[in-house]
A and B are shown apart, each in its own frame.
Chain A
Amino acid sequence: MGVESDLFCSGLVRRFGSNAAVDHVSLDVPAGTFFSILGPSGCGKTTLLRLLAGFDRPDEGDIHIRGARMNDVPPNRRPVNMVFQHLALFPTMSVGDNIGYGLKRQKVPSAERRTRIARVLEQVGLPGMENRNPGELSGGQRQRVALARCLVLEPTLLLLDEPLGALDLKLREQMKIELKHLQKAFGTTFVYITHDQSEAMVMSDQVAVMNDGRFEQVAPPEELYREPATPFVAGFVGDNNRLAGKLESVRDGLADLRLDDGSLVRGRLGQTAPNIGDRAELFIRPESLVLGGDALKSEYSSLRASVTATLFDGANSRLEADSAGQTLYARLPQDGSAPRLREGASLQLAWDPMLARVFAPGAA
C-alpha cells in the first residue's frame, strides 16, 4: 500500500448469484489524482463504485481509505461522497440547504455553515444562488450544485457516477474541462466512472479500463492509447482497425501475420502473445495508416485496399476502404496532403510496424 494512497483496494469481489460483477479488482489511487474507471455498460463499474461508497458490501477483499479499513463502515461514516448519475439533489430543499445538509450532519454551526456554503458556491461558479430551487437551475448548474454539495464536506474521496451523461453534447464538452479544473483547484481525489472514453481520456490522470468485472489495464490516458495491454483495450479505447490472421513468425518483438487473403502484415507483439501458427489480431489506428505509394519507407508494412467511401467530418475526416472483406478506416488529413480519391479507386495503405499491435484474439 502506498503511503500517499487515498484509496487502496485489494482483491475486491462482488457476486450476484453465480455471476461476479466485480471480479478480483485491486486498485491504488494516490492522493490528489483524477482516477477514471472506463468500461462498457454492464462491466461492473457501477457495482464497484457502490462498494466504495458503502451502499454494497464486497464478498471478498478489502477497501482502505487513507489506510483505514472501510469494509464495515456504513456510507454515512465514510470520508467519501458521491455525485450520482442523476445528481439526486434534494428537490424539497433550496440550493443552500442542499449544500448545507452534509454540514448540518457534521454539526457545523449555522454562521460557519453559511460562509462555507457561500464560499463553495463561489468556487463552482454559482455565487449567490443559495436561495434558488434546484428545479429552476439549468443542467450544468445542477451539476455544479451536486459537486458543491460534496466538495463542501472536504471528503478524502469523491466518487462520480457518470454525472455528465444527462447533459447535451456541447455542455458535456465544457463540463469535462471544468471538472478537471475543479479537481485541480480542490485537490480532492476523484474516482470517476464512465463509459465515454473521451471523458476518461480528457480528465484523468489514471484510467482503469474495466471489462467483465476485471481491470484490463490501469495506465495514464496516453499510455492506454499508445500501448494497449490487451485486445479489449486496443478495441475499446479510441478508434482502431482490426485485421485477423494467423501468426507466422516473430523477430525482435515484431510479428508477421498472414491474413486470410494471403497478404503478409507486420506489427509489434503485444503482452498477450499468441503462439506461432495460432490465430492473431493486428490493431492499427486510423491515424497511423499512410495513404499512397511515394512516401513509403522500406520497413513499412502495407496492404492493398479499394476505397469504399470518404467520410468528411472536418478534422476527423476518414477514408473507408475495403481489403479482402475487412473494412479499414484511415484518417484523411485536411491540410491538402491527402490525394483526391474516388470510390472504387485502388490504393496502398501502409504503416510503421512499431505503431501496430498484435494480440491473441480477445473476447471483445
Chain B
Amino acid sequence: MNSGAARLSLWLLLTPFLLWIVLLVLVPHLQMLRVSFQVRESWDTLAWGLEQYQNFFTESYYWRTFVRTGVMSLFTTFLTLLIAFPIAWYIARLARGRARGLLFLACLIPFWASELVRTYGWMILLRESGLFSSWLQALGWADGPVEMLYNDVAVIIGLVYNGLLFMVVPLVTTLDGMDENLVEAGYDLGGNHATVLREVVVPWAMPGIVSGCIVVFMLTLGSYLTPILMGGKDSAWFTQQIFTQFITRFNWEQGAALGVLLLVLSSIIVWLGLRLTGQSLRKVMG
C-alpha cells in the first residue's frame, strides 16, 4: 500500500517531464526522421530511400552551406569566448557587491527583448542611414553613407551579441569558485600573467568554457533570424536551406533530411570538441 502510494507519487512527479520529452522532443524528431527517409515517387505514392541524404552530399550547394555555417559558428563561438572571458573575470573576481549585481543585470537586460528586437537594434546602428554611418561621415572619415549590414562581419557581430550571455554565465560560475590563492600561488612559484592564465586559470575554468562553447555553438548554428536579417538574402545559413525546403519549395522530405543532418553533424562537432579538450559531457554539464 505504502510502496504503491510512493510509486504513484513518483509517476505523478515524472509526468510533466515525460510529456515534455515524449511529445515535444521525441515524437517530432522521430517523425522528422521518418519523413526524411521517404521518397516521393509521384503525387500520391511514397517509397523509402536515401535520396534526400544523397542530395546533401552530391549537391555541393547544400554541404558547402553547411560547412560555411559550421566554420562561421565555430569562429563566432571562439570570438564570444574571447570577449566573454574578461567580462566574466571582472564580474566573478574583481567586482564586489552592488557593482557585481548591476554588471550581471547589464548582461541580462538585452535578453528581456526578443531576438528580433535585438537584431533590429543592431540594424539601426549598422545600416547605410544608421548611427555609425552618420558618425563616420560627421567625423569626416567617410565621404558618403557606409553600408555595414549584409555581410559576414555583420552576421558575426549579431551572433556574438546573441551568444554573449550564454558564455558569460557558465564562466562566471566556474571562475567564482576558484580560490584566489591558486592565482597567487601561480605567481609565487614564478609564473607571469600568461603562464598563470594558461596553466592555472584556463584549466580550472575548462568545464565552464566548454559548456559555454557548446551552448553558444548550438545556438549559433541553429539561429535563423540574425543571419537572415543582418546577412541579407545571400547570407547562406544552413537553417535558411531548411526553411526554403519546407516553406518555399514545399519539399518536406528534403527539409527533414537537412534537419536531421544538422542535428547529427552538429552533435559530431560537439563530440569532437569534447574529445579534443579532454572533457566529458557529464563533467561539463554536471
Q: Which of A312-356 contact B (CB under 8 A)?
A: none
Question: Which of A53, A90, A106 is the one whose CB lies under 8 Å from B190?
Answer: A106
B200 at the interface (CB under 8 A from A): yes
Which residue of the partner chain B has the closest CB to A50? B184
Point out the residues of chain A lying under 8 angstroms from B204, CB to CB.
91-92
Tell whether, in the assembled complex, residue B195 and residue A105 are in contact, meaning their CB atoms are under 8 Å apart.
yes
- Min Cβ gap B194→A in Å is 11
Instruction: Given A82-B185, A84-B184, A92-B204, decide whether A76 and B190 contact each other with a Cβ distance below 8 A.
Output: yes
A74 at the interface (CB under 8 A from B): yes
- Min Cβ gap B198→A in Å is 11
Tell whether, in the assembled complex, residue B192 and residue A76 are in contact, meaning their CB atoms are under 8 Å apart.
yes
Q: How far is the CA of A81 from the CA of B200 in the complex (A)?
A: 17
B130 at the interface (CB under 8 A from A): no
Tell whether, in the assembled complex, residue A82 and residue B199 are in contact, meaning their CB atoms are under 8 Å apart.
no
Question: Which of B179, B186, B190, B191 is the one whose CB lies under 8 Å from A86?
Answer: B179
Tell whether, in the assembled complex, residue B181 and residue A74 are in contact, meaning their CB atoms are under 8 Å apart.
no
A61 at the interface (CB under 8 A from B): no
Which residue of the partner chain A has the closest CB to B183? A88
Tell whether, in the assembled complex, residue A102 and residue B203 are in contact, meaning their CB atoms are under 8 Å apart.
no
B189 at the interface (CB under 8 A from A): yes
B26 at the interface (CB under 8 A from A): no
Tell whether, in the assembled complex, residue A101 and residue B184 are in contact, meaning their CB atoms are under 8 Å apart.
no
Point out the residues of chain A lying under 8 angstroms from B41, CB to CB.
none
B67 at the interface (CB under 8 A from A): no
Q: Mark A142-153, 1 if CB is under 8 A from B, else 0.
A: 000000011001
B187 at the interface (CB under 8 A from A): yes
B188 at the interface (CB under 8 A from A): yes
A75 at the interface (CB under 8 A from B): yes
Q: How many residues on B have C-beta within 8 angstroms of the other chain's C-beta atoms?
A: 18
- Min Cβ gap A89→B in Å is 8
Point out the residues of chain B lying under 8 angstroms from A91, CB to CB.
182, 204
Task: Determine which residue in B185, B187, B200, B204 has the highest number of CB atoms from chain A within 10 A of its CB, and name it.
Answer: B185
Q: How many residues on A have C-beta within 8 angstroms of the other chain's C-beta atoms?
A: 25
Tell whether, in the assembled complex, residue A88 and residue B185 are in contact, meaning their CB atoms are under 8 Å apart.
yes
- Min Cβ gap A276→B in Å is 53
A55 at the interface (CB under 8 A from B): yes
Task: Determine which residue in A81, A85, A88, A101 has the highest number of CB atoms from chain B within 10 A of its CB, and name it.
Answer: A88
Instruction: Given A86-B181, A91-B204, A101-B199, decide whether A74 and B188 contact each other with a Cβ distance below 8 A.
Output: no
- Min Cβ gap B93→A in Å is 15
Point out the residues of chain A lying under 8 angstroms from B182, CB to CB.
88, 90-91
Point out the residues of chain A lying under 8 angstroms from B181, CB to CB.
84-86, 88
Point out the residues of chain B lying under 8 angstroms from A88, CB to CB.
179, 181-182, 184-185
Q: Which of A68-117 contact B (CB under 8 A)?
A: 74-77, 80-82, 84-86, 88, 90-93, 101-102, 105-106
Question: Which of B188, B192, B203 is the one whose CB lies under 8 Å from A53?
Answer: B188
Point out the residues of chain A lying under 8 angstroms from B191, CB to CB.
76, 101, 105
Task: Determine which residue in A53, A80, A102 has the highest number of CB atoms from chain B within 10 A of its CB, and name it.
Answer: A102
Tell whether, in the assembled complex, residue A105 and residue B188 are in contact, meaning their CB atoms are under 8 Å apart.
no
Which residue of the partner chain A has the closest CB to B205? A92
Residue pairs across A and B with Cβ atoms less than 8 A apart, 26 shown, are A53-B184, A55-B184, A74-B187, A75-B188, A76-B187, A76-B192, A80-B188, A81-B189, A82-B184, A82-B185, A82-B188, A84-B184, A88-B181, A88-B184, A90-B182, A90-B185, A91-B182, A92-B203, A92-B206, A101-B189, A102-B189, A102-B190, A105-B189, A105-B195, A150-B189, A153-B190
Closest A-B pairs by Cβ, 3 of them: A105-B190, A92-B203, A88-B181
Extra contacts, 6 of them, besides A55-B187, A88-B179, A88-B182 (Cβ < 8 A), are A53-B184, A76-B190, A76-B191, A81-B189, A84-B185, A91-B182
